[in-house]
Amino acid sequence: MKKTALGISCAAALLIAGGIATTSHASAATSVPVYRLYNVNTGEHFYTESLAEKNADVKAGWSYEGTGWQAPTKGAAIYRVYNPNANGGDHYYTKSKGEAAALVKLGWKWDNGGKAVFYSGGKVPTYVAYNPNAQSGAHNYTVNKAEQNNLLSLGWKYGAVAWYAEAAGKTVAPSAVQSAPRKVDINVTGAGGNEASNPGSYRYLYANKSFVGAPKGTPEISVSANVKMQGTADGSELQFVLAGTDNPGGQIGIELHNNASGVNQMPYWKAGINVATINFPQNAGTTGQQFYSTATSLPTIAQSQSVHMQIKYYSSGVMQAYVNGSLIGQYSTRLTGQLFVVHATATSSSISISNLTVSKNGKTEGPLNGTKTSDVTGAGVLY
């Protein structure tokens, strides 16, 4: 049974059922850490008390998020089963061996040879939440009540106590759980990022859409700039975009979006200026293939705060988006045309752009003159 991680195939390292044994316990220990990992491709969190299993997954590309909780060395057994038919694979945890066995009869596989992967006991509740729109990463387990409540506000279900832990864990990175998408730009979505009057059309808005595998080689084009936005109206936005010149040629980029009231696109937008990625591939249709994805783990941006944005586009059909040096998006896409255009679009806001720099196949062609503009549509430079 193989877990998909960051485009890396590592079947030998990731065989779990009948493979890596659980950690042995010293006789004096009363609890052990349960390690928590995250797969940015599938949106799944994975939990294990096996240090060897944790290290193998990290080597294969999973993100280590610290310890989810401290589990007792004995108590009620928690079983783990695996669904090989889910997109990217999926794991489920339960203290009911009967429930686990029923899933195995339906095609799921036992993990750890059908033995306990850790135990329940103590007084700290471990909550489960369920995403009905996900195949992989459909269940999340946490002792953090704030994390649980955040998932429920994003449309996840349940909210029940799955089992108990001895103590809380210590995370090393904030969780960035992919939400179920919601429809936006209804009846006005055109192919490749254009707007058109298309009844029934829409784009998707995600929180933390899962990444694809990392691209290889040098970007065909890379563009960066320092950007400021001032716009207090609900829905004020700035889009920093790289587009193909075919019609439609596709558009990719980064968006700053102000939702002053915190109402219009809640719960994916937070009150204030938020960062989102834009992916409108050239060959995308008009019913959902195009999307925005907000990065909920990033802090909100202040009015007129300078933000360094960078977009990289690879001829293999992958885009990357960076904000202040941090990778926030890595998605399949396609731009077409003999040239590219870099442009900034402002809605109900004023923007300032400086230190605009463009590289083609690794050769820098900037920095170029910065611009200041207000309520501009399609202002840009061809490359």
* CATH number of 221's domain: 2.60.120.200
- Count other Cβ atoms within 10 Å, centred on residue 245: 15
Please give the Cα distance from 290 to 48 (Å, whole number).
Answer: 36
Angle at Cα 279 formed by Cα 132 and Cα 37, nearest 5°? 50
Question: Which of these ranges, 68-82, 251-265, 312-326, has the smallest mean pLDDT?
Answer: 251-265
At which of 168, 190, 212 does a domain end? 168
At which of 107, 138, 168 does a domain end? 168
Helix/strand/coil for 146: helix
Same domain, 338 and 217: yes
Same domain, 162 and 246: no
Query: Is residue 175 one of the residues assigned to a domain?
Result: no
Confidence of residue 207 (pLDDT cuts 50, 70, 90): confident
Tell me which residue range forms the domain holding 130: 11-168
Same domain, 150 and 296: no
* Structure confidence by residue, pLDDT tens digits, 37-70: 988 667 789 999 999 999 998 888 788 888 999 9
Query: Is residue 176 one of the residues assigned to a domain?
Result: no
**Beta carbons of 317 and 333 less than 8 angstroms apart:** yes
Please give the Cα distance from 171 to 175 (Å, whole number).
Answer: 9
Helix/strand/coil for 18: coil
Same domain, 232 and 363: yes
At which of 168, 198, 230 does a domain end? 168
* Structure confidence by residue, pLDDT tens digits, 231-265: 888 778 889 999 998 888 999 999 998 876 655 67
Query: Is residue 303 one of the residues assigned to a domain?
Result: yes
189 Cβ contact list (under 8 Å, min separation 6): 195, 196, 198, 201, 202, 203, 286, 287, 290
Q: Is 382 exposed, middle or buried (0-12, 13-18, 19+ CB in 10 A)?
A: exposed
Q: Is the dihedral angle over the CA atoms 162, 168, 169, 174 positive or is it negative?
A: positive
Residue, of 149 and 143, whose pLDDT is higher: 143
Same domain, 161 and 42: yes
- Count other Cβ atoms within 10 Å, centred on residue 121: 18
Query: Is residue 177 one of the residues assigned to a domain?
Result: no
For residue 374, pLDDT over 70 is answered with no
Query: Is residue 217 one of the residues assigned to a domain?
Result: yes
Task: Note the pLDDT of residue 4.
Answer: 32
Confidence of residue 290 (pLDDT cuts 50, 70, 90): very high
* Structure confidence by residue, pLDDT tens digits, 80-104: 999 988 766 789 999 999 999 999 9
The token pair that represents 174 in the structure block: 């904030």
Please give the Cα distance from 100 to 256 (Å, whole number).
Answer: 45
Question: DSSP letters of 299-360?
Answer: PPBPTT--EEEEEEEETTTEEEEEETTEEEEEEE----SSSEEEEEEEESSEEEEEEEEEEE
SS3 content of the chain, % helix, strand, coil (to 5): 10, 45, 45
Residue, of 371 and 346, whose pLDDT is higher: 346
Query: Is residue 6 one of the residues assigned to a domain?
Result: no
Q: What phi, psi does 37 have (nearest 5°)?
A: -130, 160
For residue 162, pLDDT over 60 is answered with yes
Same domain, 258 and 161: no
Tell me the mean pLDDT in the region 153-177.
Answer: 82
Query: Is residue 3 one of the residues assigned to a domain?
Result: no
Task: Note the pLDDT of residue 368.
Answer: 58
Q: Total domain count for the chain?
A: 2
Task: Note the pLDDT of residue 277.
Answer: 95
Same domain, 115 and 252: no
Same domain, 270 and 298: yes
Query: Is residue 173 one of the residues assigned to a domain?
Result: no
Same domain, 233 and 186: yes
Please give the Cα distance from 108 to 104 (Å, whole number).
Answer: 4
Confidence of residue 6 (pLDDT cuts 50, 70, 90): very low
Same domain, 196 and 124: no
Cis preceding-peptide flag for 84 (omega within 30 of 0): no
- Share the mean pLDDT of the chain: 82
Same domain, 280 and 219: yes
Same domain, 161 and 202: no
Please give the Cα distance from 70 to 196 (Å, whole number).
Answer: 54
Task: Note the pLDDT of residue 279.
Answer: 96
